[in-house]
Homo-oligomer: A and B are copies of this chain.
């Protein structure tokens, strides 16, 4: 199953996600446990899914634009969350604005707090049903993680970080990403939380 067109094989699994994406919530809460014990190197890649939707001509999520699909996804999320033993509420506002926490996420994508931070934000959105795009909210989350909240928030709102998120979103688009989560392994795309196991298998096969 190896793609012979790839330059070289690595054991890197890129996890492209968006904090406002409900299926990304599922992956955020299970990917690290799933990769535990493997030699796979997890690369966190936050990107702005809404910007990609906009280029497609969509003002919002397809789960809002297509009522039947939206209704299905609501039920599917209940089943998948139950399968994984995760708490879950369809938020009263969907999709929620996540620009500030996404900027914090790209600032921290190579740090050890990226996972705990993203899980905390997505739980606020998808479990507590709260807004997450305010400095107050993100400050509280960072403090609870015992991180230097003031410094992180200042840097997250710098032009350098704003631009880094735009560049990473453009990179997602260039890779052919159209939804979240998407996993990329040696140039192979796997779309959707339910394809995470396939991506892991591909990574293990490719890096032998």
Contact = CB atoms under 8 A, between A and B. Distances in A.
A66 B178 contact: yes
A72 B173 CA distance: 12
A75 B178 contact: no
Interface string A65-79: 010110110011001
Interface in A64-116: 66, 68-69, 71-72, 75-76, 79, 82
Interface residues on A, range: 20 to 34
A178 B72 contact: yes
A189 B179 CA distance: 21
Q: How many copies does the complex hold?
A: 2
Contact of A176 (B56, B68, B82, B176): B68
A177 B68 contact: yes
A160 interface: no
A194 B194 contact: yes
Contacts of A128: none
Nearest to A68: B178
Interface in A179-203: 179, 188-189, 191, 194-195, 198
A191 B72 contact: yes
A208 interface: no
Contacts of A188: 75, 79
B191 A82 contact: no
A1 interface: yes
Given A69-B178, A194-B195, 16 more contacts: A1-B79, A1-B82, A56-B66, A66-B178, A68-B173, A68-B176, A68-B177, A68-B178, A71-B176, A72-B178, A72-B191, A75-B188, A76-B191, A79-B188, A79-B198, A194-B194
Interface of A: 1, 56, 66, 68-69, 71-72, 75-76, 79, 82, 173, 176-179, 188-189, 191, 194-195, 198
